[in-house]
Structure 1
C-alpha cells in the first residue's frame, strides 16, 4: 500500500456520550486477504447512540499513523414488539 509494510492496526473506539471516558484500544487482526478487522464488544461500553472509531496503523519502522476516522450507531433496544 501507499504506507509501505503495515505491521499492526489499532482501533480507538469510544461513545460520543460523555466524551472519551470509555475509550478502548482494540487490536486488529489481519485476514488472509490482507484486510484488517477488529471485533468490538458493545457490552464493554455503557451507552447507546453514536460511537467514534479512529484507525491507526503501525509501520515497519515502528511509527504510528492515524489513517481513518468513522462513526457508527448503536440503537437502544426498545423491548417492545409492534405488530402491524
Structure 2
C-alpha cells in the first residue's frame, strides 16, 4: 500500500536562479544554457528522515518533474531540476 500525504504549511520553495525584489522573476536568458535550475525547499513542520520531495514545473503544454529526493537530515533541501525538461 502506498501512502501519499501533502504538507499543508510549508514556506514557498525558492528558485535560486530567480531575481527581483520578491525573488519571483526568472529570465529565460539566464537559464537557457543552464543544465539545471535549483529549487530550494525550506524546512517544513513535520519534516522527517525518509520523507520524499519532488519538484513539479507546469506550463500550459507540459508538466516536468524532478527526481524524487529522500530527506536525510531534516532541513533546507536544494533540488536540482533539469532546466530543459528532459526529465518528462
TM-score (norm 2): 0.39
State the structure with more CA Rg.
1
Structure with the higher fraction of residues in strand conformation? 1
